[in-house]
Each structure stands twice: as C-alpha cells, then as structure tokens.
C-alpha cells in the first residue's frame, strides 16, 4: 500500500462526503428510513457511501472494500481491507446534534493501521499520516492540500482523577457500573467515533463501550487512537480488538491511554 496516497485519498473523500452530508443536514427536511436491523438510514448516508466507495474503488481497485451501507454483499473472509462508515452517528445527524463523523480506515492483517475521522458539523478532522502517527488538522480543509496539523498523543493519565468519555446515545447502567470502578474527575458524553479522538488528543483518558458496535463504527477511530499511542482491547479479557470478524460485529471494548490502570470487566 502507498500510504502517502492512502492518506491523501481518504482525507479528500472524507471532506467531499462531509460537504454532501452538511448540504442535507442544513436542508429543511430529509427522509429517515429503517434498515433490516431497525437502525436508521438517511439519504445522506447513502450519498456519502456512494461517493466514498467510488473514490476508493478507483484509487485502490485491488483492495477489498467494506462499507456499512453495502455490508450484506461483502466477502466475510478478509483480514486486509478498506472499511467505511459514511455517516457514523446517524441518530446525532437526525436530531441535528452535530456529533456525527465520516469514518474511513485501512485494516491490515486484522489491525486498523490508517484512518480518517472527519466531523463536518464540528469542523474537526483527525487522520493518520503515512508513517502511522496521528494528527488533527486545523483550518479550512482544502481538498488538494493538507493544511496546518498538530501531532496528537494520548494523555499521561492521573488514575486518581480520570477523564471519561462515553456514548451519548447508548449510555446505560452497565456502562455506568463499569465507569464507577474508577476514580473519575469528569465524565462527558460524545457521539460517533469522536470518542476515540477525544482519547487520542488527551481530552479523555478512557472510553468503555458496553454495547453493540460494528467494525465500520470503530476502525477509523481505532487507527487514529493507535497512531496517538492509545489502545483498544476487548472488554472481557483485555486482548487486542481485531478486525475481519464474522459479520464484522464487535464485542464490547475499551479504548484508553496506556497509562490508565484498567479494571476487570
């Protein structure tokens, strides 16, 4: 894989998809449908998926592509592939709360090694460089030229005063029970893969997810967090979270700065 080209293409497609999403987001109304699993989907999901899929297929025709909106047709036996959630946080989008992202990632041998997370309504952009390190870009997000970036890195956590981030739409008692095992200074909620990015920038130390997710929900954020020195492990046994699983479904997991003293499930 040409990682320089990969970074350029993923970033450009995320910006283009973000512009399409925002065009619909800022319109007076849009239709919401339910998929077979009763999760919502909008024309923005579908338009962004079509745009990103076409761009990735043109740039990397020999690399397997997995996207949320086309998941039923994907080869289930892959461990190196591109994976896309064109609009992560559809509920945030529908309710016009802003915490939605475009997620594009590259998984190698079951590990997300490169990715981009773009939150167009928040004007925040996180991605991995060719060497795998993670940055946040600030500025106007020009399509052809990467603007000013700052390297990001996970926190040196204070285990007596941890900063926790949890799901905005899916927080439940099981999540709170686990969080209560820690000495918490502050707990915040965020939508979509932004939670991974808040750990990657040191704005949070720990993100536990005790709930259903799919690989396209997490791969890009996982790659950004890993590039910032963070880790993502299974909730049950703290082994690394791997990709290319049957049905692309994730177990519960924990994303964290390695300086956090993890508690058992």
Question: Are 114 and 218 contained in the same domain?
Answer: no
Question: Are 102 and 121 contained in the same domain?
Answer: yes
Range of the domain at 65: 3-151
pLDDT of 138 > 80? The answer is yes
Q: What is the pLDDT of residue 91?
A: 82
Q: What is the pLDDT of residue 43?
A: 87
Residue pair 56/28 in contact by the 8 Å Cβ criterion? no
Question: Are 103 and 176 contained in the same domain?
Answer: no
Beta strands in 89-225 (DSSP E): 101-108, 111-119, 124-128, 134-138, 148-151, 162-167, 184-190, 206-209
Question: Are 88 and 66 contained in the same domain?
Answer: yes
Q: How does DSSP classify residue 5?
A: H
CATH code of 242's domain = 3.40.190.80
Residue 261 assigned as binding residue: no
Question: Are 19 and 144 contained in the same domain?
Answer: yes
pLDDT category at 151 given cuts 50, 70, 90 is very high
Residue 247 assigned as binding residue: no
Query: Is 54 buried (19+), middle (13-18) or exposed (0-12) by CB count in 10 A?
Result: exposed
Q: What is the pLDDT of residue 54?
A: 97
Domain count, the chain: 2
Residue 198 assigned as binding residue: no
Residue 90 assigned as binding residue: yes
Question: Are 145 and 242 contained in the same domain?
Answer: no
Residue 217 assigned as binding residue: yes
Q: What is the pLDDT of residue 78?
A: 86
Residue 31 assigned as binding residue: no
User: Is the whole-model pTM more than 0.75?
Assistant: yes
Question: Are 85 and 146 contained in the same domain?
Answer: yes
Residue 110 assigned as binding residue: no
């Amino acid at each position: 894989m040409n990682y320089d080209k990969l970074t350029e293409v993923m970033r450009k497609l995320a910006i283009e998809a973000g512009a399409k999403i925002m065009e619909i987001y800022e319109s007076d109304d849009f239709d919401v449908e339910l998929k077979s699993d009763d999760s919502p989907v909008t024309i923005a999901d579908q338009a962004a998926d079509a745009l990103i899929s076409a761009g990735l297929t043109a740039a990397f025709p020999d690399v397997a592509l997995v996207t949320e909106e086309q998941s039923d047709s994907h080869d289930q036996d892959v461990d190196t592939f591109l994976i896309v959630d064109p609009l992560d946080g559809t509920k945030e989008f529908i309710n016009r709360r802003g915490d939605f992202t475009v997620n594009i990632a590259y998984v190698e041998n079951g590990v997300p090694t490169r990715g981009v997370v773009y939150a167009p309504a928040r004007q925040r952009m996180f991605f991995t460089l060719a060497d795998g390190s993670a940055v946040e870009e600030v500025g106007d997000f020009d399509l052809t030229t990467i603007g000013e970036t700052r390297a990001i890195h996970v926190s040196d956590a204070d285990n007596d005063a941890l900063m926790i981030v949890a799901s905005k739409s899916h927080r439940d008692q099981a999540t709170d029970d686990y969080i209560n095992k820690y000495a918490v200074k502050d707990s915040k909620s965020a939508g979509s893969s932004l939670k991974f990015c808040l750990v990657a920038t040191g704005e949070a130390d720990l993100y536990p997810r005790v709930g259903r997710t799919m690989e396209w929900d997490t791969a890009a954020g996982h790659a950004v967090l890993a590039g910032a020195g963070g880790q993502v492990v299974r909730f049950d046994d703290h082994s690394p979270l791997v990709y290319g699983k049957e049905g692309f479904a994730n177990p519960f997991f924990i994303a964290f700065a390695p300086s956090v003293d993890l508690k058992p499930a």
